[in-house]
Amino acid sequence: MPTFVYMTRCDGCGHCVDICPSDIMHIDSTYRRAYNIEPNMCWECYSCVKACPQNAIDCRGYADFAPLGHSVRVLREEAKGTISWKIKFRDGREKDFVSPIRTTPWGSIQSPAELAVPNEEDMKSQELAHEPAALNIEGGLRTLRPDQFKQVVV
């Protein structure tokens, strides 16, 4: 479902241009507002729809297989940590869904540079950062010893 932009809502802020993974949301040079320059490379991922502060972007299903009259609207609220969806069928039926998106404050992830510096011995081990603790298993990181495995060429 390629995206499109409502003329009266878009203020040309460019958030959609900045986020689009397919590089297809661009600013129109005449109207100074965003539009989808290449609908056939749109994955309907909704990254631009979610990022638009003006709710100016919507999608209309691909005309080559999606009949008109439907809508799938979304509201992503980072502060609340939720995403809300409203699905409207061609025949008018509606469905609503709400899901959590994150359980911790945005920006709260610790940089690995703040963790204790690994020693020389750790550098040569098979363990990665946070291991073995993050594995949460007895006996540490698993390995196969040559006497354990069968090495057979078929």
Q: Which amino acids are annotated catalytic?
A: 43
Using only C-alpha atoms, what is the Rg of the chain?
24
Burial bucket for residue 12 (CB in 10 Å: 0-12, 13-18, 19+): middle
Block residue for tokens 């010893």: 145
Of the candidate spans 4-12, 27-35, 126-134, the one that interacts with another protein by CB under 8 A turns out to be: 126-134
| Contact status: 16 vs another protein (CB under 8 A) | no
Block residue for tokens 């291991």: 131
Tokens of 21: 């993974």
Task: Figure out which of the listed residues 12, 28, 39, 75 binds another protein, where binding follows CB under 8 A.
Answer: 39
Choice between 8 and 21, CB closer to another protein? 21
d(CA 73, CA 3): 12
Choice between 10 and 25, CB closer to another protein? 25
Looking at residues 51 to 80 of the shown chain, list those that interact with another protein (rule: CB under 8 A): 59, 61-72, 74, 76
Choice between 9 and 95, CB closer to another protein? 95
